[in-house]
Every structure is written in C-alpha cells, then in structure tokens.
Structure 1
Amino acid sequence: MTSSTRTHSRTADGPGKKQAQRSLSRAQQVAVEVENELLAAHTPVGTSLGRRTDLMERFRVSPTVINEALRILRDRGLVVVKPGPGGGVFVASRPPQVRLGALDLWFSGTGTDPLDLFEARMHLEDVLTRVAVERAGPTDIRDMEWALESMRSAGTPRDFLDANLRLHLAIARAARIPVLAGMYEAIAAIIGGAATRVELLPDHEEMYRHSIAVHVEIVAAIRDGDREALDKCLGLHRQDLVRAVDPTRSPVAPE
C-alpha cells in the first residue's frame, strides 16, 4: 500500500475527521491540499509552485481565496512569495508529517509512516488505559504524577512530547500486561528517537492548557478507579489529538 493510499484510507475513517474537513474554509482546504502534496512528493525547499494566477487556475478559486491560502502557508513557514520577474510561490520548508493537537512533528529514519506509529500507539493506549484503571497501584500513580509535572513544567515542545510519552508509558505499565506494554514502549521509543523537530502552533495556549487538564483528569480517574470518568476523559483525549484544520495528519483514534 502506498503512502497516498494510506492517507486516503485515514481521511475516509471516522465521523470526527469528516466533520472537521467539512468545517474548513475553502482557503484552509487549499492550504491543506498544498501541504499534503508537498509532503507526499518530498518537494525540495526552493521548488517553484508557480505564480498566484497558476494556483488560482489549478484550484479554481478567487484571488481572495488564494491570497488567504498563501497567508496560511506563509504563517506556517512553508512557502515564500517573491515578487517581480522570476518570482512566484516557492517552497520554504518541509511540512510536518504528524499533527498532534497543538504539536507539529517531523521525523527521519523511522522506516514506517510516522502516522501509522501514532495510530498504533493510540489503539494500545485505549486498551491499556482501560485496564490500568483496575490495576494501577500507588507506585504507578506516583510515576504518572511525576510525568504530569514534567508536562506542566516543559520548557520546549520537545520536552512536552517526551513528558507525554513518559506519562502514557507509566499508564501502559500500570495495566500489568507485559507483552502489550512492551509493544507500547517500543513504539514510544521509535517515536521519541526519530522525532527531529517538534513545534507548537501559534496561539497554542488554550489547546496546551486543555491537553494538560485532560491528562490530569485521566490520572485522577485511574487513581480513583473511576471507569465512567475515565471513559469521558478518553473521549476528550481523542478529540484533542485531531487537528481541526488538517485532520489528515492526525492519528485515527478508536471510536
């Protein structure tokens, strides 16, 4: 299966992603299409994408829409627009392979589509967290709370990602299913080792705070053995993972 086929199957899955795509403006849709094409084609930095008029014709949109799409892409640092003879729209940087809530992530040398790793991680988390609520002991809760504190005090986006991976690994171990916990640890190690760049979205503060609050509630539900509260928290956690403006590069979580 090619990467483009895998991407198509992802976008077809899940009502949450379909709803997110329908809610995008036409300019946001164009920006997402351009990003996905750059990613799929491994387009080198400096490559010309043509002039504004070429993009208007290609996507069949108005000057207002293409200008807004280019503003979105410029704000993400993905294109530059050069005026005059020889000018046009040029690739400025490579798009992130994964969009995880407020985080953009770039990877190298995984040997596997990074989004496939995050999907596997999500499904394992869903199973292991539901078992951990029955089996976690005081030492497990302490390890989770330490990881939570690291998330709160993270000084960089990479620190936040690493703390998040530690938290979910502590939860996985608390389930007392060594084979599945070992699989989860292996996936987390690949993700952590292959991530070459982690960035936060502009104006990420609300998403950032909400993510921490949801993880606090997950740990509280596990500590209290409250399965009903945990189910609600896991639903919020799944919603947090899908980037509304680009759901095609967010992991598909269990429904």
Structure 2
Amino acid sequence: MGAADDTRGGTEPPALRRGDWERGAASRAEVAADRIAAMVAEADQGARLGTKEELRTACGVSVGTFNETLRLLQSRGLVTVRPGPGGGLFAAAQSPMRRLGNSVLALDAHQPDGAGAQEARRIRDALDPLLAEDALWHASPAQIAELRGELADLAEAAREPDPAAFAAADHRFRTRLAALSPNTLLRSLYATLLPVAEPDAAEQLQERCERHTALVDAIEIRDRVRALELTRFD
C-alpha cells in the first residue's frame, strides 16, 4: 500500500534514523527523495503516491526539507504534482531510460546476498570516467570548491572509520560530481545507481577518500590522464 494508506490506517511509517538527521538538511532531502523514488519504481505510471503532507509525514522530515525533496524528485522526472481535491504526488510517465533506471532500483530486491548491489556498483563505477571527462570540461572554480567541501565529511568518516557516514558523504560527493555533466542521460542513470550500489568496506574508506581528493585535484588542473586513471578503482 502507499503512504496515504499507511497514514489513514493509523500506522506511523518509520521516521528517518538519528544518523540521517545528523547529516544536514540537504542529505535528509536526498534520503527522503530516495524513499519516494523507490515507491515510484513499484508504482504504475500515473499512480497516486499520496498528498504532500502524507508523504512528508511518512518520510519524517520538515516542510522545508520536503520542499527540497520535491524539487529533487521533479528534477529527476519521477513525480508530477496536481493541486486540489484528489491531488498530490503522482508517479510520472516513464521514459525508456527512466524505466531502465527503475529496473536497476529493483535489482537488490530480486537477487540474493546483495548481488544486485554489487552489479549496480560495477555499472556505477564504469560510468565514473565519463563523469570525470565532463567535469574536466565543465567544472567552474566555484563547483570545484563545492566538491572540496564534501571531502571534509569523507575524510572524517574515513578516520573513524564509519562506513555508514562515509556512504552518505560519498553519495553527496558523487551527486555533485554528476551534476557537472551536461549529459542528461548519464546524470539520470548515475543518480539511479547511487542508492543501490554496494558501499565500500571499512578497510577501503581511506583509499577511496584519497582517490576522491586526488580526482578533484586533477579536475582543477585539467589533468585528463590523471583524472581518468583515478576513476579506475580496482
């Protein structure tokens, strides 16, 4: 059943976990967007997901955070909003590319022992050189500074080590990197893979952090050979 059914039935959907709240409003919006994206993946085209208030309550976020969630969902072409009685959020018409992305979201549910997450990660990592190539051409100084801003959270999580915090910071870093690409198809597929891909093991966090840092350095000085080399993570 959808979020609206759960709310009317009196069963409170689980709110975001404490760790999610501690990662900042932007991160909470992304977590909520991922939750609703999963609902869209299971819904028929045009299906009603619930009212804004029902879905906000289901995600356990503030009005301001949910507005950012809604912006993220609309930018990904996942939902449409209809006003008035009977309105709310509806699963948007799906392009062939979006249907492919939603199929990727379902991988984890249909393969045993996290095999879907492993496959999603392989595809995601194979797209990294394309994103690096686009970043080399299009990243402005301000955007490079934003990428560097995400590196601080990555470094802190790697020092702990805290795989869950690192995975959240890695998601934010990759989201910023993908946003530099003018290729809508690439951005869409990559964004779909991010919440599904298997996270790094604890012993890999420091190496991954160092590679991300070196990648930003290479992008800043437009060192294509170095940037592409750093995206090939064994």
The TM-score bracket by the shorter chain reads: 0.3 to 0.5
TM-score (normalised: structure 2): 0.46
Q: Which has the larger radius of gyration?
A: 1
- The answer to which structure has the higher helix fraction is 2
Higher RCO, Cα 8 Å, sep 6+: 1
Structure-1-length-normalised TM-score: 0.42
